[in-house]
Amino acid sequence: MNDHDIKGIRVISVADAHQLGTLERAFLDPAERKVVGFGYHASGGFLKPESNPLIDTTDIQSFSQDVLTLANEAMVRGEKTAARYADLVDLSRLHGEKVVTEDGRSLGAIHAVEFDEHNYKLTGVEVSAGHFEKNTVIAADDIVTIGSDVTVVRNSVAERAHAPVPDAPAVPFDGSDQTSQATPFREQTIEIPISGEHLDLRRQIERNEDVAITKEAVERDQTITETVQHEEVRVEPTMNEDAVAEEARESTKRTP
C-alpha cells in the first residue's frame, strides 16, 4: 500500500459500529523505517468543531484498503505518535523530494511512499524521473537515508537503472536457427509457413465387458382354493289333485 491509497479510508469503531472519520495522513519513523501512526479527519457535526485526531498503529484492530477498525472510540489516543511527533515524517510531505545516490547522481523525485499494511514497515519509494519516464520503485533495502530535504539511495540503484539492455537476436520467419536469407531493400518473395490445427471428432463403440444371461425352467406345485356358486330351481304345486279335477269339471260345464 502507498500513502496515496490511505486517503479516504474509513475509521470505524467496532463497539458501536460508528464511523469516526476518514484517514488523511500517515507518520513514518525514519529511524525504524516504519509507519507508527495515522491522522484522520473527524467531521464534527453541529456545534462540534472538526478535528484531526491521531491513532497509534499499536491500537489498530485491523487495517485494509477499505477500512481501519478500532475496538472502540477510546482507542483514539495517539499518545505514542504525539510524544515523538517532532521526529516523525508526514509521508505526504515527502512528495516531490529529490532522490540522489550516495555519489550525488539525481534519480528523480518521490511520487509515493509504500509500506506493508500488516506490519507497517517501509517497503520502498516510488520515484518519478520526469514526465516522459516511467516511475521506478526503489526497495527499502536500497534506501540509505530519508531526510527532510533529500532521500539518499545506494549507487547500485543508478547502475541497475542505466545498465544497457542487450538486443534480442533476430529470429528467422521459419523458426529455424539459421540466419534469414532475406536481403533488405530488394524486391523479393518471402515464404512464411502457416500452421494450424483442426479438431477430429469420431464416434465409435467400445466393448467394455461381457455379461452372461442364463434361462432355466422351474416347476412347482400350487393349490388354488375357489368358492363355486350355483342356483337350484324347485317347483312346488299350488293345488292338490282334487282341486284340479274340480276345476276341470267346472270348465266343462261352462262350455256350450
The average pLDDT across 176-203 equals: 59
- CA distance to 10, 219, 228, per residue, from 222 (Å): 89, 10, 19
The average pLDDT across 114-128 equals: 96
Residue 220 has pLDDT above 80, yes or no: no
The domain segmentation of the chain, as residue ranges, is 10-90, 93-160
Superfamily of domain 93-160: PRC-barrel domain (2.30.30.240)
The average pLDDT across 150-175 equals: 70
Percentages helix, strand, coil for the chain, rounded to the nearest 5?
15, 30, 55
**pTM tops 0.75:** no
Distance of alpha carbon 24 from alpha carbon 55, whole angstroms = 11
Residue 185: CB partners within 8 Å, gap ≥ 6? none
The identity of residue 82, as a single letter, is A
Residue 146 has pLDDT above 70, yes or no: yes
Of 5-14, 126-135, 140-149, 185-194, least confident by mean pLDDT is 185-194
Q: Could you tell me the pLDDT band of residue 223, with boundaries at 50, 70 and 90?
A: confident
Distance of alpha carbon 156 from alpha carbon 177, whole angstroms = 36
Residue 195 has pLDDT above 80, yes or no: no
Share of the chain above pLDDT 90, in %: 54
Predicted pLDDT at 47: 47
Selection from 114, 113, 106, 103 nearest residue 150 by Cα:
106
- CA distance to 34, 63, 146, 187, 239, per residue, from 170 (Å): 48, 50, 45, 20, 140
Predicted pLDDT at 130: 79
Task: Tell me which residue has cell 518521490.
Answer: 110
